[in-house]
Structure 1
């Protein structure tokens, strides 16, 4: 997802907290940078500060709406009157959270929006004896909790969400890591290898040569 906030310390604090929740997060400090990033990345959710200097958050939201950009937009702003909310939602925002906010509520709203940004998925992903609950960040197999790292959890969630379709290493890197990830790194291969060991037998993750991975 993309966090757009001109207060750099707040932006990095929010991004760090979301990454601890297993999300892949990029940061933009102004409206122009936000539109540059959305031009090349497919985000699930854009957390957008409304009161941006230069290109206003309203203009960013309007530009994304006119372009048919698929991400859900959560406006995060100190302007919290009913008229402000109506205006923001009228511009195409999908949700509106006034500052100050509880971080747990921000996470819950982002997860709710992310579920709606792609084809609808059940709240708990199940494949045989494997269960993954994105809300609680708990994955189990045969009733036993799996000790997954945030990245392992993210990769497993992406593979289960694909419902048997092949997910390329590039897609896993783009959606499971942030913009600073090295595209030539072996981190996806290493993470999948660790995930396989933790999932145990019988094996669940198949490598499709020259294509990627699938459950």
Structure 2
């Protein structure tokens, strides 16, 4: 695993002042704590740093086995992607709301007859539409959806780590998975990815003590 310059600086700081809080690490680097969240998560999950509540971070002296990194982070999203719920641009908002809640999902993908992605509708989009004093059976999905190319998409071979970065960077809850022709083949959600990383991290954590 190749550490970034900032991650190496964090390790140096922790070695010198351990145990040290995340806030104090941020002060040393003249950054905010949220800015370091991803770096600290990676360093603790890989076993390079350890952390105790109300105590702080300390150097564990362990290094991540490259195979472990590949097993957790470099897995392609096709191994984790879910089946998306597709609707048509002409689907009414009323029917879209029904579809969203019947399938218990956070977003609907709008596709043409050939299943090419043309838009995405979120719960927030439907909520805003429902507040308009207009018959929801007369408003169609094409009116309220976020349109291509203003949608962040990935492919089935995208690494799970990269998918996670995109979800955080763009502050979205779902990423459509498209093939080379732009056909929707799946989706990755923030909840699914978080569940995967937590379970994988817990497994690594258990293996450290066995």
With normalisation by structure 1, the TM-score equals 0.25
Q: Higher helix share goes to which structure?
A: 2
Larger relative contact order (CA 8 Å, sep ≥ 6): 2
Flag the structure with larger Rg. 2
